[in-house]
Structure 1
């Protein structure tokens, strides 16, 4: 006798693999982290060593000087590397869209390549470029301005700009592809009508292009905020996981990692993660509200 599954259960059975994987690798770690934020626990002592400490982990994180230093570094890197991404990607996307026609995909793919390149390979490349004695960056600065060689990876004043440059180089192509995709959805009739009415290129960009791609700009800026505040890979590899001289490039993500795996404070690291969740959610909400206000004002 064949075993038949009732038709009403078929949809749940089909989505069950995803639900099982999401529960095990997504939902459970999330809930466990929320519970762990109120515990004091060292994994080497076993699960039974957990001790409820209330809000102590959150108090510790908010009064920890290293947290505020890492938050400052994170915000600095997010702004310095994030803002130029959009200031460069948007006009470059407009140029590629208008100048290269069917070939724009080839050029946008070249800009997108750093985004899919291994972070380790990128770190090795820029480690050579920023080399103190033989790096091309120092050689170029010396040839152009006559400056002395800069120890980019060990100078507290130089390491953050170096990391910001790497982050900018890696993600500007991603934003370029976003804006290029948005530009292709704008009807050409709008530009033709504007040209007949005597609008110049700048007026068409300001009155047609920019309002039409505002939703994509919001999407790109939101991703930059989230990614910037979660920045980990680039500074971690460039500084060998130590944050550089005087911890000048230590981000919150790096400090959270070290708090958990170097100092075995998983409760404090979990509390820190949820604090950053609140910061990211707050900034994302402000970004959406700012764009909404502008649309309403228009």
Structure 2
């Protein structure tokens, strides 16, 4: 008999059910609110854009089914391909130096130095600074008539917004300044998790600091490098705020669209031209581009250290 006078055999099914709920069902029950909200506010809008992209969609007007016509027009649209070129160009110019700079910063901060904590906190300043403030400051630095960069380079009157290469460079510098510190802290955390015994054994074998960096640090950082590469790829290909603020709020990306990204082009089609079906097609093309470039980046970075 149990303490409550109920036979133990009658308690066993209840105990088994309670155990099953605790071990099997409870975890899913606890995380279910997230997935329910994600399905409502994430998956449904995502799937709905597919339906919108197959229509000639007006917000308060007629909605005509046109099938894949938006995608066909998009492939033949020179403005779209201009935005693709701009996005890929700024992605390469911003992401590669950003990750290399972050790696060098992390390696420097991982060494013994005075005021090390202060410098570690300093790399967080760009990330917590308002992007609008960052864009305003860099807009002044790259100003044509009184910009600091023109003064340093001795090129008075250079309009950084007028050409593709110069505008890409200015925006890339802005992106690198903002996100290099964030990636550096990720690398720093990964570096501090590397066992010191590996470095001590390498020093005994006569390996130099440079060789230890390339033969120990870089291979051990592979998971962190893959993570930062993927996140930087997603952020770089969906670039929007920095070029818009660089153009002082113009989503056209300059007089000839010289730095208009895909995200800016999508915004222009949706909220200026009111072509919601066409903008939805642009959004899905951007999604496919992100998936493709992320896959290439992953396949490249996973071979770091000579392993597959």
| Residue 223 (structure 1) aligned with residue 231 (structure 2) | yes
| Cα distance in 2 between the residues matched to 1:136 and 1:166 | 14
Q: Deviations over 1:13-53 (max 9, x none)?
A: 644543443233212211111211111101021xxx22221
Paired residues of 1:81 and 1:167 also in contact (CA < 8 A): yes
2:262 aligned with 1:252: yes
SS in 2 for 1:256: helix
Residue 136, structure 1, aligned to residue 144, structure 2: no
Relative to structure 1, the CA distance from residue 291 to residue 100 in structure 2 (aligned partners, 3 Å threshold; closer, same or farther) is same
Query: Which of 27, 45, 53 matches 1:37?
Result: 53
Written as runs of structure 1 = structure 2, the 5 A alignment for 1:231-242 is 231-239=239-247, 240-241=249-250, 242=252
Q: CA deviation at 1:276?
A: 1.5
Size of the aligned set, in residue pairs, is: 285
Q: Provide the C-alpha distance between the structure 1 equivalents of 2:133 and 2:267, rounded to a whole number of angstroms.
A: 22
2:273 is matched with 263
SS in 2 for 1:98: coil
| Structure 2 residue 132 is the aligned partner of structure 1 residue 120 | yes
Aligned ranges 1:1-298 → 2 under 5 Å:
14-15=30-31, 17-45=33-61, 49-100=62-113, 104-142=116-154, 147-239=155-247, 240-241=249-250, 242-294=252-304, 297=307
Higher helix share: 1
Unaligned residue ranges in structure 2 (runs of 5+): 1-16
Rg comparison, structure with higher value: 2
Q: Structure 1: give runs of 5+ residues left out of the alignment.
A: 1-5
Report the TM-score when normalising by structure 1: 0.88
Q: Measured at CA, do residues 20 and 250 of structure 1 come closer, stay the same or move farther in structure 2, by a change above 3 Å?
A: same
Once the two structures are superposed, residues 188-235 of structure 1 have per-residue CA deviations (whole angstroms, 9 ceiling, x without a partner) of 111111111111101111111011001111111111111111000000
Q: In structure 2, do the counterparts of structure 1 residues 202 and 11 end up closer, same or farther at CA, with 3 Å as the change threshold?
A: closer
Say if 1:204 and 1:257 are closer, same or farther in 2 by CA, change over 3 A: same
Aligned-pair CA distance for 1:294: 4.9
Aligned position for 1:3 = none
Matched residue SS, 1:198: coil
8 Å contact 1:156–1:245 — kept in the other structure? Answer: no
Would the alpha carbon gap of residues 291 and 120 (structure 1) be closer, same or farther in structure 2, given more than 3 Å must change? closer
In 2: Cα distance, 1:115 partner to 1:170 partner: 5
| 1:44/1:68 CA distance change after superposition, 3 Å | same
CA contact (8 A) 1:156 1:246 kept: no
CA distance in 2, matches of 1:178, 1:232: 24
Q: Equivalents in 2 of 1:98, 1:297: separation in Å? A: 27
Distance, in Å, in 2 between the alignment partners of 1:99 and 1:152 is 40
Q: Once the 2 structures are TM-superposed, how far is the Cα of residue 134 of structure 1 from its aligned partner? A: 2.1
- Aligned-residue Cα RMSD (Å) equals 2.1
* Distance 1:153-1:56 versus aligned 2 partners, 3 A rule: same
8 Å contact kept, 1:243–1:249: yes
Matched residues in 2 for 1:64 and 1:207: separation? 47
